[in-house]
Amino acid sequence: MTRKSVGVAVIGAGMAGRAHAAGYRSAGTVFDADGPEARLVSVVDTNEALAQDARQRYGFARAESDWRAIVAADDVDAVSVVVANHLHREIIEALLAAGKHVLCEKPLAPSLADARAMAAAADDATTVAAVGYTYRRSPAMSAIRDHVHNGHLGRPIHFNGHAWYDYALDPLTPMSWRYKGGPGTGALADVGSHMVDTAEYVCGPVVEVSGAVLTTVIDERPVPAGVTLGHERGELTGEVEPVENEDLATFTARFENGAVGTFSVSRVAHGLPNGLAFEVFGSAGSAAFDLQRAGEFQVTDSSPRGEVNGQRRVYVGPAHPYLRRGVPMDAPGVGYGTGDLFVYQARAFLDQIVGLDHLPPCPSFHDAVRGLEVLDAVVESARGGGVAVKIA
Amino acid sequence: MTRKSVGVAVIGAGMAGRAHAAGYRSAGTVFDADGPEARLVSVVDTNEALAQDARQRYGFARAESDWRAIVAADDVDAVSVVVANHLHREIIEALLAAGKHVLCEKPLAPSLADARAMAAAADDATTVAAVGYTYRRSPAMSAIRDHVHNGHLGRPIHFNGHAWYDYALDPLTPMSWRYKGGPGTGALADVGSHMVDTAEYVCGPVVEVSGAVLTTVIDERPVPAGVTLGHERGELTGEVEPVENEDLATFTARFENGAVGTFSVSRVAHGLPNGLAFEVFGSAGSAAFDLQRAGEFQVTDSSPRGEVNGQRRVYVGPAHPYLRRGVPMDAPGVGYGTGDLFVYQARAFLDQIVGLDHLPPCPSFHDAVRGLEVLDAVVESARGGGVAVKIA
Amino acid sequence: MTRKSVGVAVIGAGMAGRAHAAGYRSAGTVFDADGPEARLVSVVDTNEALAQDARQRYGFARAESDWRAIVAADDVDAVSVVVANHLHREIIEALLAAGKHVLCEKPLAPSLADARAMAAAADDATTVAAVGYTYRRSPAMSAIRDHVHNGHLGRPIHFNGHAWYDYALDPLTPMSWRYKGGPGTGALADVGSHMVDTAEYVCGPVVEVSGAVLTTVIDERPVPAGVTLGHERGELTGEVEPVENEDLATFTARFENGAVGTFSVSRVAHGLPNGLAFEVFGSAGSAAFDLQRAGEFQVTDSSPRGEVNGQRRVYVGPAHPYLRRGVPMDAPGVGYGTGDLFVYQARAFLDQIVGLDHLPPCPSFHDAVRGLEVLDAVVESARGGGVAVKIA
Amino acid sequence: MTRKSVGVAVIGAGMAGRAHAAGYRSAGTVFDADGPEARLVSVVDTNEALAQDARQRYGFARAESDWRAIVAADDVDAVSVVVANHLHREIIEALLAAGKHVLCEKPLAPSLADARAMAAAADDATTVAAVGYTYRRSPAMSAIRDHVHNGHLGRPIHFNGHAWYDYALDPLTPMSWRYKGGPGTGALADVGSHMVDTAEYVCGPVVEVSGAVLTTVIDERPVPAGVTLGHERGELTGEVEPVENEDLATFTARFENGAVGTFSVSRVAHGLPNGLAFEVFGSAGSAAFDLQRAGEFQVTDSSPRGEVNGQRRVYVGPAHPYLRRGVPMDAPGVGYGTGDLFVYQARAFLDQIVGLDHLPPCPSFHDAVRGLEVLDAVVESARGGGVAVKIA
């Protein structure tokens, strides 16, 4: 029995690109032993030192500085694109045209127009075009999703979600592409995209948003002297530039299934480094998730008698999605980190490429367009002073 | 040294009326020893057995069945009105006209028009007219409020509140006045009023709401065979009647101080008997409160170095509002129940009556009108499909 | 229908004495409306100002400075004794000899010999002799106890308890009677007595202890210039005196029912003002309690399927002991403070006096002797270097 | 720049063996990019299918069924031994004699005599002999350890630890080697060894234990029809065999630094799949850890003013051990699973082999002997009815 081998490249060697690289490296170790595995071909970054470091760490054959080399590379079948999102479209379209399978980090594009063009390109392609909404791979979140979809919570009534991060709270965190681009390109695009994808993953399509408010809390930021990786302070030039997009976005929503939603997404939430969380209420139960305690979820239903009933803390384990077979540490309560989610995602992408459907597929470009339509509707609602905006 | 004695009556002997009665009984035991104390004169309920039971329990001199007797009673100085809110106006106006101090349970009235009329009556009166937003008396919530007002969280950015209760989740919970009256008179009036008052207490005036969605989840309820106290199932007639108001309301908001708000209030939140909670984020810190763990609050700021910094669980104690002096069990971590809040409220009301200002005063009728204006704006926003509505 | 009235006095007007006074004041308001109520006759303290303050607050008829006046008082039927425990025996014996019902604050006496003498005196008396283990009145703890006794956890296997307090952690907390008296009279007597009583209440008699270690962490303390109430720093003389008893005690135990126990009790536990907590494991389930979150308890059993099973947070409410009838705020999740426990205790004591048995009775002097025998065995085990010591 | 490559084998392809295999596979991806990496040579299991599955998953060159092949293999430099612990000695001694570096899964051996012989063999060898106490690699636990060692908690006073697992609670969990071998070979050897290693890692050497109680709760277990992996029920023969060792062990302890310890370790703790946790109290602060929420730890100290001070929940991140450089997802709050700990462990072992000391070294065989001496002392204390037993 021989495993299928898929030649992979990762474009972008920053923190998230490394998470993709690590995901590919371990993708063949989990789930069915005879599934596909990744052949680590190339890692690309305009910063050559970064690319070399990643090549050496993860065991890629090559490090390169120009993504066009990947388009032309015969030994690359599949590519993760993990660069600033305004660069996605050109790269993805070239890769698809060259017959590559693509896994594009979220958000798909800075504008809905770009995203729709990319989805059209994906429709024209015969390869897999997937989007990296990694949190969908959380075993706990997926357990809640299954629970909702199986009807165990009854009729969905209310989804309350927040994505509270603090990475932009320090006024000395330097200016970067994250703070440019106009309404909708800030917290909404960065963490709101995760929030909306999570909501739709768990509770189905959002069909209307209203009451949107976008707020910029820190109006200007210092210009950095050089390139910065991640969110840390670096050397500064002494100049400042205006922040062009929102630090905080809030809105309400309606889901296709009749549930209503309340949302807040922030990059200035003091004390919360990674606070994506939600509660979902149905007529027969409720569930809750917090990414900061991703090895567990909370659930209520009516099964024990009231005297000893209450919100249950469930540790994910072999009874839950992703952990049923083939994950080395599959006992409940051992915990799962964000790194694990990238492994499951990489494997699902490889599985799709070779035609296996054991795992939930990655969200498609059309799914991502849908999510962007919701974010766009949020911006439109905010522009209209909170007016309700339907998603087509 | 003689304590001032205030003759009190309580109109309404249900669960909340009893909490008022118990509050008066203990009001003189806490805080300054030379402050006012209550003389328990009369408890009133149209259900005479209930009134007699409450009289006997709390030690009132009389039990009566007609509130008009209180209007006429020379030995009554101050009155709690704890009946269905559509009855408030007539009773309160009569009491004020008779020169009584009044503490009206929230919400002040079923309509803004009624509430404004009551506020006008209060303006014409020389007595104290207060509203029973008891949660303001929570030592933990008050600690957060002081923290916000003293600027320790920096500039307020975001207030996220929910009032999630489950009392109406059972479709067999019988029809009552709670389920009648049109949009805004359901969860919004009942638990949303607490939520809005809490938000304004902690974060200041709300000046705009938008994105409101009101939802009725359980469309009809069985007609009970007799009177029901509280929310329990009782005997049913076999008939059903339509529910006229919302089980769930969601909206966003803007505060005068520039913060934005996200809100959801529900009476159908599975598994949460008493889930009023909020988080407030500022530029220099954050705080969180959950009524179900009312003996503590959570706070973050930047004071310890990051390596050991994080969300702190603070047990309220003598360092915090209400517990500084004169509460028998004032050690941190001993816990405070809802009953304690009624004691602090009763004492604050008595203090106001005799002219003391050691405690934060009770909210006025105008404060309550403000809160109702916010709730009214929520209904108007919902009617307009989520449109933004300013509060005058 | 007339309620029986019991004339009560409280000897000791410090923090705990006031909690007793407040308990009597509200005792008639809860549970059955036709039960006994307290007539507040006298409060006693050698500090006359304290006694006057308490008299005025709680509405006692008299304040006195000599407890002997209570022994002689015809209008006093029942007496709480809430003074330093080396004073208990003389006062209690005199009260019993005079035909008074007594509720003695824990621990019953500083020595087992004294306690046994007091129990003998109680045997000779025809009145009620009860001990103030107030935590037994916690609705949540009582719910666990019922759960264990009804067999819902299966066969008890392990009881793990800690009583972690921080009141003595500050080396400048001044010398007082708390720090005098030799091994066993420190943390063991003060908070260990609560811990052992809790363990026996929930899990039945302890029949052996072993492995005891008693540790004094802060060897000497400053001598205060005057009297101190509670644990706060006051003015100091500049001198120090040696601490004579343990700050921390640890031991293991065996219960009559076959379960084993692990215990630690401390008055120097940083950051924990009121940390009495336990977990109890049985063959079919487990439960956990933390006094700092006394409105809830945790429970596991096998009733929902594993996929959604886990530790449940149960808010105490009308389904649980003490809250079934007659407590004004009986909804789950409203919280219960330590003050409430004193009310339930006072009522149970009054009920016993008039011959009612609706509530679990207060622990007897013999129960307290049993608890002291366990504590004595802990001291003996520590003296023997951890040797096992059986409780007779 | 070329990375050093270490040829590795893993003996034992069960759940823990796979965790070692996955650890080696990713060891080169984390921390310094120029450190050593593993060359995956061989995986060994008497169950050939298991070995083949592991070979294929993790990318080893060979799968073998006899560990002696590894002793003889020239291309293997380092070996993880992850088999039943009564097999450790023979394998380890042969590997050391053949000049292999060894990483032996804990506990080192079923008897102290065996362990001491192995430590002697390690002394005679020139290679690295390490023991797999993986939990030492928890970033959160290590952060607490650093905190204690740096004196930030002041003088250590009390370490309270529990290792509560539920894997043996089901009476139908079949008989296996886990339930054979006499006192000390059950929960004490399996999870107690982790507990003691954790305690000594954080708080230093244990010098005395006392009060030990060993309990067997489930006296006999069904004989399985075939081999079982892990703890699951399988087919049964219908026969039962007696359980020879303890399900639960409890004891107290003294540490060299003067702190006292309380411990309970269980494999029958209902509802806790992976409950290793501890609290450590010092004169200036406290900290707490729970493996089930391994991405965070709790800490108290006196740095903010009391009004807003309390137990802080700290999410581990780049400020903490192991996450400072080179872990792809190094933001606080992203979570770390047990799988990550095996990666850090594998890397530390490889680093030691090539002479790097960037990471805390793995515990040595002598460290493990020390831990076993403590466990042996626990057994001796239990045999002596709880008597105190010093560790040499």
User: What digits encode the pLDDT tens for the residues A273-306?
Assistant: 999 999 999 999 999 999 999 999 999 999 888 8
The 10s digit of each residue's pLDDT in B135-164 is 999 999 999 999 999 999 999 999 999 999
CB A234 within 8 A of CB A225: yes
* Residue A355 CB neighbour total at 10 angstroms: 9
Q: Which residue of C has its CA nearest to B166?
A: C332
The residues pairing with D204 across neighbouring beta strands, listed in sequence order, are: none
Contacts of B161 (CB under 8 A, 6+ apart): B195, B198, B199, B261, B262, B263, B276, B277, B278, B279
Helical pair B338-354 and B15-27, crossing angle rounded to 10 deg:
60
CB-nearest partner of C264 from D158, D213, D215? D158
ipTM at complex level: 0.95
Q: Best residue in C280, C299, C305, C308 to probe A by mutation, most A CBs within 10 Å?
A: C308
* Residues forming a β-bridge with A183: none
Q: Which residues of B132-142 are buried (b: 16+ CB within 10 A; e: fewer)?
A: bbbbbbbbbbb
Can you say how many angstroms the Cα of residue B327 is from the centroid of all Cα atoms in its chain?
Answer: 22
Name the residue of chain B whose CA is nearest to D297's CA: B308
Choice among B37-51, C200-214, C320-334 with the minimum mean pLDDT? C320-334
pLDDT digits (tens, 9 = 90+) for B174-213: 999 899 999 999 999 999 999 999 999 999 999 999 999 9
To the nearest 5 percent, what fractions of chain C are helix, strand and coil? Answer: 35, 25, 40
Tokens of D237: 């023969």
User: Hey, are the CB atoms on C314 and A301 less than 8 Å from each other?
Assistant: no
pLDDT score for D231: 60
Cα–Cα distance, C254 to C247 (Å, whole number): 23
How many angstroms separate the CA atoms of A298 and A286, rounded? Answer: 8
- Comparing C-alpha atoms, which of D270, D298, D294, D299 is closest to residue D284? D299
Q: Is A384 helix (H, G, I), strand (E, B) or coil?
A: coil
Q: Pick A273's closest partner by Cβ from D19, D56, D315.
A: D315
User: Distance from D256 to chain C by nearest Cα, in Å?
Assistant: 14
Contacts of C308 in chain A (CB under 8 A): 147, 152, 299, 301, 312, 314
Partners of residue B57 in chain C, C-beta under 8 Å = 28-30, 33, 326
Per-residue model confidence (pLDDT) at position D305:
84
Residue C217 tokens read as 């962490």
Closest in D22, D293, D332 to A274, CB measured:
D332
pLDDT in tens, C60-110: 999 999 999 999 999 999 999 999 989 999 999 999 999 999 999 999 998
Minimal C-alpha gap between D97 and chain A (Å): 31
Please, what are the domains in chain C?
A: 5-135 (3.40.50.720), 139-331+369-383 (3.30.360.10)
Of A308, A309, A314, the CB nearest to C308: A314
Is cis: bond before A107, omega within 30 of 0? yes
Are the C-beta atoms of residues A25 and D27 closer than 8 Å to each other?
no
Cis check: omega of the bond before B318, within 30 degrees of 0: no
- Report the pLDDT averaged over residues C332-349: 91
- Tell me whether residues D292 and A273 touch, CB distance under 8 A: no
- Structure token digits, residue D257: 């630094």
Once rounded to an integer, what is the mean pLDDT over residues A41-46?
Answer: 98
What's the confidence (pLDDT) of residue D223? 94
Q: Which chains does A contact via 3+ CB–CB distances below 8 A?
A: B, C, D
What letter does residue C41 receive in the DSSP assignment? E
Three-state SS at C177? helix
Q: Which amino acid belongs to residue A18?
A: R
If you count residue pairs, one on C and one on D, with CB atoms under 8 Å apart, how many are there? 148
- The confidence band for A326, taking pLDDT boundaries of 50, 70 and 90, is low
Query: Average pLDDT in the D44-66 region?
Result: 96
* pLDDT tens string C152-198: 999 999 999 999 999 999 999 999 889 999 999 999 999 999 999 99
d(CA A324, CA A358): 11
The answer to whether C274 contacts B333, with C-beta atoms less than 8 Å apart, is: yes
Q: Min CA distance, B165 vs chain D (Å)? A: 27
Residues of B in contact with A257 (CB under 8 A): none
User: Does pLDDT of C234 surpass 80?
Assistant: no
Judge: B250–A158 Cβ closer than 8 Å, yes or no.
yes
Which residue among D301, D303, D310 places its CB closest to the CB of B315? Answer: D310
Alpha-carbon distance B78 to B39, whole Å?
A: 10
CA-CA distance, B280 to A270, in Å (whole number)? 9
Instruction: For chain B, list the contacting chains (3+ Cβ pairs, <8 Å).
Output: A, C, D
Percent of chain D with pLDDT over 90: 83
CB contacts, 8 Å: A272 with chain B: 286
Give me C146's structure tokens.
Answer: 């019922």
On whether the CB atoms of residues D111 and D89 are closer than 8 A, the answer is no
Among B52, B79, B76, B77, residue whose Cα is nearest residue B64:
B52
Is residue B332 pLDDT above 90, yes or no?
Answer: no
| Mean pLDDT score, B110-120 | 95
DSSP D205-254: -EEEEEEEEEE-SS-EEEEESS---TT----EEEEEEE--S-SEEEEEEE
Mutate to test the interface with B, among C322, C325, C329 (most CBs of B within 10 A): C329
Cβ A22 vs Cβ D330: under 8 Å? no
Å between A292 CA and nearest CA of chain D: 5
Asked if B253 and B260 count as a contact pair (C-beta separation under 8 A), the reply is: yes
A19, A271, D326 from A47: Cα distances, Å: 17, 32, 17
> Average model confidence (pLDDT) for chain D?
94
The residue among B308, B316, B330 with the most chain D CBs within 10 A of its CB, best to mutate, is: B308
Judge contact between A101 and A131, C-beta under 8 A: no
Give the integer Cα–Cα distance in Å for B290 and B278. 7
Predicted confidence at residue B392, as pLDDT, reads 79
Least CB–CB distance from B266: residue in A158, A270, A282 = A158
Strands C101-105 and C129-132, bridge-based pairing: parallel
**What residues contact D386, with CB distance under 8 A and at least 6 apart?**
C210, C211, C252, C381, C386, C387, C388, D210, D211, D212, D213
CB B49 within 8 A of CB B13: no
Measured between alpha carbons, how far is C155 from A136 in angstroms, rounded to an integer? 42
Local confidence band at D333 (pLDDT 50, 70, 90 cut-offs): confident
Contact call for residues B145 and B137 (beta carbons, < 8 A): no
pLDDT at residue A233 greater than cutoff 70: no
Nearest by CB to B22, which of C29, C295, C315? C29
A229 pLDDT band (50/70/90 cuts)?
A: low
SS (H, E, C) chain B: CCCCEEEEEEECCCHHHHHHHHHHHHHCCCCCCCCCEEEEEEEECCCHHHHHHHHHHHCCCEEECCCHHHHHCCCCCEEEECCCHHHHHHHHHHHHHCCCEEEEECCCCCCHHHHHHHHHHHHHCCCCEEEECHHHHCHHHHHHHHHHHCCCCCCEEEEEEEEECCCCCCCCCCCCHHHCCCCCCCHHHHHHHHHHHHHHHHHCCEEEEEEEEEECCCCEEEEECCCCCCCCCCCEEEEEEECCCCCEEEEEEEECCCCEEEEEEECCCCCCCCEEEEEEEECCEEEEEEHHHCCEEEEEECCCCHHHCCEEEEECCCCCCCCCCCCCCCCCCCCCCHHHHHHHHHHHHHHHHHCCCCCCCCCEHHHHHHHHHHHHHHHHHHHCCCCCEECC
Other Cβ atoms less than 10 A from the Cβ of A357: the count is: 9
How close C65 comes to chain A (CA, Å)?
A: 47
In the numeric block, the tokens 């089901």 are attached to D170
Q: Mean pLDDT over residues D275-301, rounded?
A: 96
Closest of A269, A102, A112 to residue A189, by C-alpha: A112
Residues of B in contact with A250 (CB under 8 A): 158, 252, 260-262
Spatial distance between the Cα atoms of D217 and C283, rounded to a whole number of angstroms:
8
The separation between CA B137 and the C-alpha centre of its own chain, rounded to angstroms, equals: 9
Which tens digits make up the pLDDT trace of B295-310? 999 999 998 888 899 9
Give contacts of A385 with chain B, Cβ < 8 Å.
210, 387-388
Question: Do B253 and B211 form a contact (C-beta atoms < 8 A)?
Answer: no
Of the candidates C22, C330, C337, the beta carbon closest to that of B336 is on: C337
Average pLDDT over residues B64-71: 98
- How many Cβ atoms sit within 10 Å of the Cβ of residue A138? 28
